A = this chain, B = another copy of it.
Amino acid sequence: MKPSIKLILFILCLPVVVMAQQSSDVVDLKKHKVVIQFNDADSVSQSRVVLQVQNVKAAWPNAEVEVVCLAGGLDLLMTNNSKASKAVAEWSAKGVIFAACNNTMKMRKVKKEDLLTQAVVVPAAIVELSQKQEEGWSYFRGGK
């Protein structure tokens, strides 16, 4: 009878084993999503915002991250004005979205071809930021 008791004990313990495993890698299973509002043109703010992307990806490698650039913040994504184009390219390759506000582009007479190839154009920053929050993303104001 002994093996049978062992088997019963094993079966009874299975849910506990599964639950223990789930709790051990609970961090990787949780889907974090962060949308960043970025308004500033200066080089300190530009390098700061890509550092903030790095910080969130270091803690949550699977997090979805989107940087929405408007007003002066569009400079981060302009070929001639970006002080962090290398970091934008690197993080973009790892799935981070860099979005340019089309309303800002029209106001500042910036064309799609003036932007880094990684930039994605969205119709309006305020709409993009709101929509992401409606879908459960957290908000962060990027920059210095």
Residues of A at under 8 Å CB distance from B?
A: 32, 34, 36-37, 39, 48, 51-52, 55-56, 58-60, 71-72, 103, 123-127, 129-131, 133-134, 138-141, 143-144
Specify which of B37, B39, B56, B131 is in contact with A130 (CB 8 Å cutoff).
B56
Main secondary structure of the interface of A (DSSP, over half): helix
Specify which of B60, B72, B124, B143 is in contact with A55 (CB 8 Å cutoff).
B124
Are A32's CB and B133's CB within 8 A? no
Contacts of A138 in B (CB 8 A): 129-131, 133-134, 139
A-B pairs with beta carbons under 8 Å apart, 13 shown: A32-B130, A34-B130, A36-B126, A39-B141, A39-B143, A39-B144, A55-B126, A56-B126, A58-B124, A72-B144, A126-B140, A131-B138, A139-B139
